[in-house]
Copies of this chain bind each other. A is one copy, B any other.
């Protein structure tokens, strides 16, 4: 029997406690041993729960208990989660977390600490909720040099964009709807400004390319400026607008950004609607592979956490190879050099004038016939580096750039 502690009995922590009990037989079969919850750390008491006696307010009851070999961290936030996880690893325990902020900020350090103690630091649930993605990326695609990762990594914004695309809601209406359903926080900035997706692409990039990538190295744009007109233009161009986390290898550099992008219908990511997430991984041998599922929610996230607990139980005292090395300054190169096409919408005196200006500036454009204002023109530019795009946009004469959205 292996004893497990849970730190943080919020939505995910509660899901983990329930799943460990509910699927105990399946889990023991997979782990090769029974897993027992020894302690649950929370500031609150839960006297009504059948497992009320497991709760403690004291972290010491976990870190100082040598019989607890695996600790689940589902508190979220950087502090005290980081301090507690570090102390548990230092005490020779394996740690499993769903905390993307912790992994994106401190992953390399905690992985090194786990390795030094011959224990494991696992975090499948930190990206894509219940979707198996980190382990397949690390193990199943291990013969590949990963070339590119493109993902819909935030379920809240994907739900909102889906509402805008399918039901014609404005951004504000879609946000209110997401808040009413409990998908978005009262302060939705971590979701709608792209920070959550940014943390997740950092974790994916670190694992795929081997060195830690920090969130402040990733250019991040959110979806606040996306209008229904943009959505209609994207549809007319044969695509949909999705918030994409992108990381690409270029020689020995990584170029990465988070931004809303037009995704064409022949790309599987375009078909991922609602709160679902998907990650498209391109390897030099395997080509494109896609991993899809629920990116958040109590049960799916708990499913990923408990799978990690099982894996930790099977590898006690033996580091798994899920690993990346320290940050290297300069490894993440300027994202602006990534060649991308843009969907640009321009307003001029007349549509004809806007079209002429676009042709003069961007040359080989593809016009889009969409339901826009009479004096507007929308088109797709050729693939350009962002600096080239900015230079050419500066040449536009007598027209205003109303919106520009990259194409994936």
Binding site for B on A (CB under 8 A): 19, 23, 26-27, 29-32, 124, 130-132, 135-136, 139-145, 210, 268, 271-272, 278, 283-294, 299-300, 302-307, 309-311, 314, 321
Q: Given A132-B136, A136-B140, A143-B27 in contact, is the A294-B290 Cβ separation under 8 Å?
A: no
Flag if A293 contacts B293 (CB, 8 Å).
Answer: no
What are 23 A-B interface contacts by the 8 Å CB criterion?
A23-B284, A23-B285, A26-B143, A26-B144, A31-B142, A132-B140, A140-B307, A141-B303, A141-B307, A142-B311, A143-B303, A143-B307, A143-B309, A268-B271, A268-B292, A284-B299, A285-B299, A286-B299, A286-B300, A286-B303, A287-B299, A289-B292, A289-B293
Bound Cα distance from A305 to B143, whole angstroms: 9
Flag if A26 contacts B288 (CB, 8 Å).
Answer: no
Flag if B303 contacts A293 (CB, 8 Å).
Answer: no
Bound Cα distance from A23 to B291, whole angstroms: 24
Flag if A321 contacts B32 (CB, 8 Å).
Answer: yes
Bound Cα distance from A29 to B124, whole angstroms: 21
A132, A135, A271: which has the most chain B beta carbons within 10 Å? Answer: A132
Complex contacts, A288 vs chain B, CB 8 Å: 293-294
Complex contacts, A27 vs chain B, CB 8 Å: 142-143
8 cross-chain pairs, A with B, having the tightest CB-CB distances, nearest first: A132-B140, A143-B306, A289-B293, A285-B303, A130-B286, A132-B136, A290-B292, A30-B142
Instruction: Please give the distance in Å from A98's CB to the nearest CB on chain B.
Output: 13
- Which of these, B145, B306, B321, contacts A26 with CB under 8 Å? B145
Complex contacts, A306 vs chain B, CB 8 Å: 142-143, 285
Bound Cα distance from A299 to B284, whole angstroms: 8
Complex contacts, A143 vs chain B, CB 8 Å: 19, 23, 26-27, 30, 302-303, 305-307, 309-310
Flag if B130 contacts A289 (CB, 8 Å).
Answer: yes
Q: Given A140-B307, A285-B302, A300-B285 in contact, is the A293-B292 Cβ separation under 8 Å?
A: no
Q: Given A287-B130, A299-B285 in contact, is the A321-B135 Cβ separation under 8 Å?
A: no
- Which of these, B140, B286, B290, B300, contacts A135 with CB under 8 Å? B140
Instruction: Please give the distance in Å from A292's CB to the nearest CB on chain B.
Output: 4
Complex contacts, A300 vs chain B, CB 8 Å: 285-287
Complex contacts, A321 vs chain B, CB 8 Å: 30, 32, 314
Task: Write the chain B residue with the least CB distance to A272.
Answer: B268
Bound Cα distance from A231 to B240, whole angstroms: 26
13 A-B pairs besides A30-B321, A143-B303, A286-B300 with CB distance below 8 A are A26-B145, A130-B286, A132-B132, A132-B140, A136-B136, A139-B310, A268-B268, A271-B271, A285-B303, A285-B306, A287-B294, A289-B293, A314-B321
Flag if B145 contacts A124 (CB, 8 Å).
Answer: no
Instruction: Please give the distance in Å from A136's CB to the nearest CB on chain B.
Output: 4
Instruction: Please give the distance in Å from A318's CB to the nearest CB on chain B.
Output: 9
Complex contacts, A268 vs chain B, CB 8 Å: 268, 271-272, 292
Bound Cα distance from A57 to B350, whole angstroms: 77
Instruction: Please give the distance in Å from A43's CB to the nearest CB on chain B.
Output: 26
Complex contacts, A305 vs chain B, CB 8 Å: 143
Bound Cα distance from A68 to B330, whole angstroms: 42
Complex contacts, A311 vs chain B, CB 8 Å: 139, 142
Flag if A304 contacts B30 (CB, 8 Å).
Answer: no
Task: Write the chain B residue with the least CB distance to A311.
Answer: B139
Bound Cα distance from A66 to B288, whole angstroms: 38
Flag if B142 contacts A307 (CB, 8 Å).
Answer: yes
Flag if B294 contacts A291 (CB, 8 Å).
Answer: no
Instruction: Please give the distance in Å from A295's CB to the nearest CB on chain B.
Output: 11
Complex contacts, A141 vs chain B, CB 8 Å: 132, 303, 307
Bound Cα distance from A402 to B280, whole angstroms: 41
